[in-house]
Homo-oligomer: A and B are copies of this chain.
């Protein structure tokens, strides 16, 4: 059994969800691990990793609508506002979701459910380079 790590970045086009399932599966395929466990870690506190329904894009729109209603940008409740109205809401969204997810590997790829994808969720309005590390055990 071995543990290998690889860090990589994904550019986000601003707020919204990006399917990173195939990016991760490409890295895993190179490792030749038939059965194992991997962890994906996001090195940021204003974006998230999320397991989400991958068939109907409306699900992603509805997740965004829900979060915007739950944590309004520019809410006067927040004191941490120097970087803009989306700064503190992004940290709250990050805390309410995940920055680290472990997923089994089977058949040299992520053993996700049929309707399950893994997404990088950019919470900031602007584009960012988001760095992740995948750790693969198997």
**A interface residue numbers (CB < 8 A to B):** 1-3, 5, 35-37, 39, 41-46, 50-53, 56, 58-59, 61-63, 65-66, 69-71, 77-80, 88, 91-92, 94-104, 106, 111-116, 131, 133, 135, 137-138
Q: How many copies does the complex hold?
A: 3
A3 & B78 in contact (Cβ 8 Å cutoff): no
Whole-angstrom CA separation of A63 from B100 in the bound complex: 19
Known A44-B115, A62-B91, A63-B91; further 17 A-B contacts with Cβ < 8 A: A3-B37, A5-B106, A36-B135, A43-B111, A43-B114, A45-B53, A45-B113, A59-B88, A59-B91, A61-B80, A63-B92, A65-B77, A66-B78, A69-B77, A95-B97, A100-B101, A113-B131
